[in-house]
Structure 1
Amino acid sequence: MHNKHPVDAATAAASVAPATRPTFARRQLLAAAVTLPWLGTLGTAARAQEGALRIAQSTALTGPLGDLGSAMHQGAKAAFAGINAKGGVHGRPIELVTLDDAYEVPKALANVEKFLAERDTFALFNCMGTPMIDAMLPKVNESGIPFFAPFTGAQLSRVQGARNVFNIRASYADEAEKLVQHLSTIGITRIGIVYQNNAFGKEVFTAARQSMERLKLPGAIAVTVESNASDAGSAAAKLAGGNLEAIVIGLAGKPTLEFVKAFRGLQRGVTLYALSVMGTQATVKALGPDATGMAISQVVPLPSNVVMPVVRDFQAAWKASGATAEPSHLALEGYINARVFAEALHRAGRNPTRAGFIDATWNLKKWDLGGFEINASTPERNASRFVELTLVGRDGRFIR
C-alpha cells in the first residue's frame, strides 16, 4: 500500500539539478557553506551537478519503523547538503537517492535490485533493518558493490571476508556488554533478562549472559517474548516475582511497549535497561510515564551534547538544512554515517572506483570525527565501539 510514495518529497528535491532548485534550497546550501567550517577539508570550488556521484538507499520512510528511517535519512541529507554546498568531494557533489521500503523485505529487495541494475549507482548507503539487510546481503556480496553503514547491530552483517560491507554502529552484543558492565560496576547482581524470541533477541541474551559469566555475576532469570507480544504479560509476571534489582531488555517494537507497561503495572522499583533500538522518541512517547527512569544504551553521542565537536557540527548542519524536527540520536547517526562516507570517498581520490573506495574505508584507522572514533579493523567487526548510557527524564528527553 506504500508503493504510491517510493521517494519522499525532500529526497526528490535533493536530486534535482541546482539550476532547477527553488531559491529556498539555494539559501539552505549557502547557509550550510557559511556555518560548517569542517567542510573546507572536503570541498573545492563547486562544479556542475552532471558530475554527481550517485549513492542509493533503501530504508523505511513509512510503516511501523518509518520514524527511525526518516530520522536517519534526514541526518544524512543534512550532512551531504553541507558537503555539496562547499563543492562536494574533490569538486564532485554526492547525490543520495532514497526509496521507501516501509520496513518490508520484498520492497527492500526490489529497491536493491533496481539500484544494482542502474550502472551509475556507486554504493548502497545506510540501508535499514536486520531482516531487510539479511535478505539483501546475498545480492550485495555477489555484486561486490560497497554496502556502507547498514543499520543493524546484528552479527549477520559483520561477515568475515566481506570487505565491501562496512559496518559503523556498535553491535547489539557491544550494547548488551556495556549494560552488564555498568550493572556490575554499581554493584547490582540480581539481574533479569527478557529477550525477543528471534535472532535479534537471542544475540542480546547470549552477549549479556557471556558478559555476566566473565564478570562472575550470578546467573540471570531469563524469559522470552514472542514478536507479536502475546506473552509479554506472563513474562512480566515471572520477572516481577523474581526479587530483581534490574532487567536487561532485548526487545524491539510492540514487545517492548507491552512488556514495559505490564511490568510497570506490577512493579515500579526495578530499573529497566534497554538497547538503542528501543530508544526512539516514538517509543518513549508511547510509554509515557512508564519510560521515566529507563536506562538506554546509545551508539552515538547525545545530540544535545555540544561539548563534542561532532555534535556542534551536526547541529549546525541540521539548522542549515531547514529541518524542523528536534535532533535525535538517529538523525545524528545518519549524519555521522554520511560524514564517514565522505571521508572515505575523499581518500579514494579524484576518480574513485568502487575497489578504491572499499580500500579507503579499511584505511580509516583511529580517525577522530570530533569525539567519535572510527577504527576499521576487519569485516567481522564494526568500525565504532562507541556505547554510552542515557536515562529517560520525566519530560521524556534523554539525559546522561
Structure 2
Amino acid sequence: MSDQEIRIGSSLALAGHAGYLGTQMLQGAMSYIDAVNAAGGIHGRKIRLIAMDDGYDPTRCLYNTQTLILEKKVFCLFSYVGTPTTVRILPLVNEAHIPLVGMLTGANRLRTPKNPLLINVRASYYQEIAAAVAMMVQEKKLDRVAVFYQYDEYGFDGLRGTEIALETYQLKPIAKGSYLRGTLDVETGLEKIISSHAQAVVMIGTYGACAKFIRLAKENNFSPLFYNVSFVGSAELARRLGRVGHGVVITQVVPPLTADKAGKMLPGIKQYIKDLNRWYPDAAPSFVGLEGYLNARILALALERCGRHLDRNTFLTAIASIRDYDLGIENPLSFGHGDYQGLDRVYFTKIDHGKLVPLP
C-alpha cells in the first residue's frame, strides 16, 4: 500500500476446466473497481487488483498466494475461487494475519471454526443444500436422493451437507457417485446412481462434469430431478446442456438477473449490468459475475469506512461495523462480532429451454 494505491491480490481459475468461474468473478469485481477508480478511488487511493491464474489447482494457488503476500505486498486477499484452493491457503492467511474478502465457495471449512480474517459474503453450501433438500422432500415428496460429487474438499463438503439435510427427514443418500477434480470421468458414478433408482440427484461439481453426467443420464433414460449448487457455474452449465438441461435446478446465492413480472429490476442488479457494460461491453451478466461485483462493493465500503489511516485491524473493524446495509438486492448485508458471513438468502433457478429462469 502507498499514498496512491491499495494493492489487493486474487488467485483464481482463469483458464482450464473452471476458467469460466474465475473469469466471470474477475470481470464482475473489476467492473466495480474500475468505476471506483474512475471516480477518484478511496480517499485518494486507487485500488489495484493483482490477479493470478491458479487453474483451480491447490498447489498453484498456494504458490500464487505466497507471491501475493511476500513479493507483491498486497493489503488483503480478494475473491478466491473454489474450496480446495482456498482451504489450502488457510495456514498462510492465519500466519500473515491477512484478510481474505469474498470467496466463490460456500464451504463449511471456511466458516467453522469462526475466523475474522475470512470474510464470507455468500450463503454456505449447507444453506443451499438444506433449502434444496427441503424442496425435494417436502414439496416434491421425493425420498430417494443420491449424491454426485467431486472427490475433494468441495465435494466432501457438499456430501456432508446433503447428509445433514437428509437426516432432518430421517433419510440417507440412496447412492453416492464421484469423479476426480479436473476430469470428466463420470461414468462409474453415474452407473451407481442409475442402479439406485434415485428420484433426485444432488450434484456437487463443476459445469463440465455435471453437464456430461446429466447428458449421459438422459441418454440412458434416467431423468430424476437434477439439482446443482451455485458453484457449478449455472450459465455455462445451461449453455453446455442446451435443451437437454430443461428442468435442471440450480440454487443461487445472489438474486436473479432478470426483471420481475412487473418489469422492475432490483437497483443493485441494474447498477451491476450498467458497470459491466461500461467496462466489459462484450461480457454477459452472470450470477458469478454479480457475486464478484458485490464482493468488490463490500471491499470498497470497508475501505471507505477506514478513512485515510488504513491498516488491516481497522479494516476488519470496518467490516464488523456493517449492519443491515442495503446493496439494492432486497437482502441486507450484515456482519458483526462472531458473524463473518454477510448474506444468508438462497434463490432457486431452473433451466428452461436453455435459459435460466427464477423459480417462484
Q: Same fold (TM over 0.5)?
A: yes
**1:209 to 1:341, Cα distance in 2 relative to 1, 3 A:** same
Match of 2:297 in 1: 339
CA contact under 8 A between 1:194 and 1:251: conserved in structure 2? no
Encode CA deviations 1:55-83: one digit per residue, 9 max, x unaligned: 11111111221111011101111101112
Encode CA deviations 1:71-127: one digit per residue, 9 max, x unaligned: 110111110111222222233322212122222233322221122124752111112
Structure 1 residue 129, shift from structure 2 partner:
2.0
**1:184 to 1:136, Cα distance in 2 relative to 1, 3 A:** same
Structure 2 counterpart of 1:65, one-letter code: A
Q: Give matches, 1:69-218, under 5 Å.
A: 69-118=22-71, 120-196=73-149, 197-214=151-168, 216=169, 218=171
TM-score (norm 2): 0.88
**1:112 to 1:268, Cα distance in 2 relative to 1, 3 A:** same
Structure 1 residue 161, shift from structure 2 partner:
4.7
**1:218 to 1:106, Cα distance in 2 relative to 1, 3 A:** closer
SS at match of 2:98: coil
**1:110 to 1:119, Cα distance in 2 relative to 1, 3 A:** closer
**CA RMSD of superposed structures (Å):** 2.4
Structure 1 residue 254, shift from structure 2 partner:
4.5
Structure 2 counterpart of 1:88, one-letter code: G
In 1, distance between residues paired with 2:3 and 2:311? 18
Match of 2:343 in 1: 384
Match of 2:247 in 1: 293
Which structure 1 residue ranges, 5 or more long, are not aligned? 1-48
Structure 1 stretch 372-381 or stretch 126-135: which is displaced more? 372-381
Alignment size in residue pairs: 351
SS at match of 1:374: coil
Identity over aligned residues, as a percent?
28
Which of these two proteins has the greater Rg computed from alpha carbons?
1
Encode CA deviations 1:211-230: one digit per residue, 9 max, x unaligned: 2332x364441212232678
Structure 1 counterpart of 2:152, one-letter code: N
CA contact under 8 A between 1:232 and 1:262: conserved in structure 2? no
SS at match of 2:348: strand
In 2, distance between residues paired with 1:312 and 1:50? 33
Encode CA deviations 1:307-335: one digit per residue, 9 max, x unaligned: 21210111111122143121111111110
- Residue 313 (1) aligns with residue 271 (2): yes
In 1, distance between residues paired with 2:237 and 2:313? 40
Which structure 2 residue ranges, 5 or more long, are not aligned? none
Structure 1 residue 246, shift from structure 2 partner:
2.5
Encode CA deviations 1:349-390: one digit per residue, 9 max, x unaligned: 222111100111122222221123222246675221121010
- Residue 284 (1) aligns with residue 241 (2): no
In 2, distance between residues paired with 1:205 and 1:178? 15
CA contact under 8 A between 1:148 and 1:165: conserved in structure 2? yes
**1:324 to 1:266, Cα distance in 2 relative to 1, 3 A:** same
Match of 1:326 in 2: 284
In 2, distance between residues paired with 1:346 and 1:211? 39
In 2, distance between residues paired with 1:278 and 1:111? 24
Q: Give matches, 1:23-34, under 5 Å.
A: none
